Amino acid sequence: MKLPSLNFGDLTARLPIIQGGMGVGISLSGLASAVANEGGVGVIATSMIGMRDPQRARDPEGADRRGLIEEIRKARAKMTDGLLGVNIMCALTNYGDMVRTSIREKVDLIISGAGLPLDLPGYLREMSDEMKEEVRTKLVPIVSSGRAASILCRKWAGKFGYLPDGFVVEGPKAGGHLGFKAEQIEDPEYQLEKILAEVVEAVAPYREKHEKPIPVIAAGGVYTGEDIARFLEMGASGVQMGTRFVATKECDADEAFKQAYVNARQEDVTIIKSPVGMPGRALKNTFLDAVTAGLKHPKKCVHKCLHSCAEDKSPYCIAQALVNAYKGKLKNGFAFCGANAYLVDKIITVKELMATLSEEAERKYQEVGQKLQETKEEAERRIKEVLNK
């Protein structure tokens, strides 16, 4: 059995795989275009995207705008297949500017989390008026519960007459900042398998009432092709994967960042308390050891990137730490990662990774199909036995 395509209205990705948006330089045009060219959804992360701009300290919003435009256009120039999305966190201080810029550049999808994007559809209307044309960009919120999905459907439908074009359901095994309390991360009630079912159930009435397909995408801890097949069997329309794509040649991070994944052991994957007030999953290193020991001290922040950052109480600037990590300077920063990062053992191409994932998923599909066929044949045999008595 072949993997199904992933549809967002009139837009289709040949494979049901979204590459997770990894901020502060990890997923830019290089990685996003490579994933798209293999039939998936490549995603550019907007967080600190203008960090290399020489004018950033003086004009951070302009730097990020210029950086986003550059990366979108570079990705488009390399693409021959697939879809291109951007990941925009609600917590960004320049959220509105990043959304407007993405729509102007005609990206296929905006994936938005780190808060509920309650007013996101309003930008479509605003930009349609500005551009004097129909906007095709699809809106895909990230949620971590059926309740959040239901709230967004109800609010968007009531205020804008618009429903999400899909949902990414992110479980607590994801990398980076997590939308869960620390005590929920290992709680069975909050694992992806449970919340995926809740979101599928919550979305169903809106699909039926408005006759709009709303694909639900499973994310957080999806690592193998067998995982992909398993979540598709559970009702997901696709999966989002971040960690696997870090250890690829096309990933935009420095080689030292990628090698940190290859070298990681299971005990190196840890939960940290981020300065932005949320738990996060990262790889232990000397920088985080120094934070734990109280050896890091607050410094003046020049980035002002997140609304929720407690700058005056922070032991370090997380934006600068992540910039350093992206550049391979891990003594002065750290790498965010998913729960399965320790399973990475080598750096391969995106083409090799996508082929492996597809083969594993299709093999699992065939096994399930064979079992179903055997069950059907056994049932038919028993029916015949009963009828012949």
Tell whether 134 and 42 lie within a shared domain.
Answer: yes
193 contacts 239 by C-beta, under 8 angstroms? no
Same domain, yes or no, for 215 and 147?
yes
Domain boundary residue among 259, 282, 307?
Answer: 259
From the CB of residue 369, how many other CB atoms can be counted at a distance below 10 Å? 11
**Domain membership flag for residue 148:** yes
* Cα–Cα distance measured from residue 86 to residue 94, given in angstroms and rounded to the nearest whole number: 14
Work out the average pLDDT over 167-194: 92
pLDDT tens-digit profile of 154-165?
999 999 999 999
Label residue 274 by pLDDT band (50, 70, 90).
confident
**How much is the pLDDT for 2?**
84
* Tokens found for residue 271: 């939960």
Residue 370 is assigned to a structural domain of this protein: no
Which long-range contacts link 209-215 to residues 24+ away (Cβ below 8 Å)?
A: 210/157, 210/163, 212/163, 213/7, 213/9, 214/153, 214/163, 214/164, 214/165, 214/166, 214/167, 215/6, 215/7, 215/8, 215/166, 215/167
Residue 377 lies in a domain: no
One domain, residues 188 and 46: yes
Distances (CA, A) of 281 to 63, 142, 273, 311, 379: 28, 18, 9, 20, 47
| 292 and 238 in a common domain | no
- pLDDT (average), residues 246-270: 97
Alpha carbons 271 and 294: distance in angstroms, whole number: 17
295, part of any domain: yes
Structure-model confidence comparison of residues 270 and 312, the more confident one:
270
Structural domain includes residue 349 = no
State the chain's mean pLDDT as an integer: 90
204 and 102 both lie in a single domain = yes
- Does residue 235 form part of some domain? yes
Confidence bin at 372 (pLDDT 50/70/90): very low
> What residues form DSSP beta bridges with 100?
none
**Among the listed residues 113, 223, 226, 134, the one whose alpha carbon sits nearest the alpha carbon of residue 178:** 113
Which residue(s) pair with 272 in the sheet? 280
Residues 11-14: contacts with CB under 8 Å, at least 24 apart: 11/83, 11/108, 11/109, 11/136, 11/138, 12/83, 13/39, 13/40, 13/41, 13/82, 13/83, 13/238, 14/39, 14/40, 14/81, 14/82
Pairing of strands 238-241, 17-19: parallel
Tokens of 95: 């959220």
Cβ–Cβ < 8 Å for 250, 201: no
Give domain status of residue 208, yes or no: yes
- Fill in the DSSP letter of residue 100: H
Burial class of 283 by CB neighbour count within 10 A (0 to 12, 13 to 18, 19+): buried
Which of the pair, 180 or 387, is modelled with greater confidence? 180
Average pLDDT of the residues in 304-330: 74
Please give the pLDDT value at position 269: 97
In terms of pTM, does the model score above 0.85?
yes
User: Can you name the residues that pair with 388 across neighbouring β-strands?
Assistant: none
**pLDDT for 297:** 59
Task: Give yes or no: residues 67 and 145 share one domain.
Answer: yes
Do 206 and 131 share a domain, yes or no?
Answer: yes
C-beta separation of 51 from 304 below 8 A: no
| Cα→Cα distances 258→13, 17, 82, 326, 348, Å | 27, 21, 25, 9, 11
pLDDT digits (tens, 9 = 90+) for 125-150: 999 989 988 899 999 999 999 999 99
The Cβ-side half-sphere exposure at 322, using a 13 Å CA radius, reads 23
Q: Which helix (H) or strand (E) holds 325?
A: helix 318-326
Which amino acid is present at 265? R
267 and 133 both lie in a single domain:
no
- Are residue 112 and residue 126 in the same domain, yes or no? yes
Q: Are 318 and 288 in contact (CB under 8 A)?
A: no
Please name the residue that has the structure tokens 């256009």. 73
* Residue 268 sits in the same domain as residue 248: no
- Domain end, chosen from 259, 280, 296, is at 259
To the nearest whole percent, how much of the chain has pLDDT over 90? 74
Tokens of 288: 């985080």
Q: Quick one: pLDDT band at residue 381, thresholds 50, 70, 90?
A: low
**What average pLDDT does range 321-340 have in this prediction?**
94
Number of domains in the chain: 2
Q: Any idea what the CATH number is for the domain that residue 141 is in?
A: 3.20.20.70
Instruction: Report the percentage of the chain scoring pLDDT > 70.
Output: 89
Give the DSSP per-residue string, 176-193.
Answer: EE-SS-GGGTT-GGGSHH
Residue 303's domain spans which residues?
Answer: 262-332
Please determine, for residue 364, whether its predicted confidence score (pLDDT) is greater than 60: yes
- At 26-46, the pLDDT tens digits run 999 999 999 999 999 999 999
pLDDT in tens, 45-101: 999 999 898 888 888 899 999 999 999 999 999 999 999 999 999 989 899 999 999
Q: Which two tokens stand for residue 302?
A: 């020049």
Pair 249, 281 in one domain: no
Final residue of a structural domain among 240, 259, 278: 259
268 and 176 housed in the same domain: no
pLDDT computed for residue 370 by the predictor: 60
- Which has the higher per-residue pLDDT, 375 or 359? 359
Q: Which of 5, 24, 4 is nearest to 282 (CA)?
A: 24
Pairwise pLDDT comparison (376 vs 257), residue with the higher score: 257
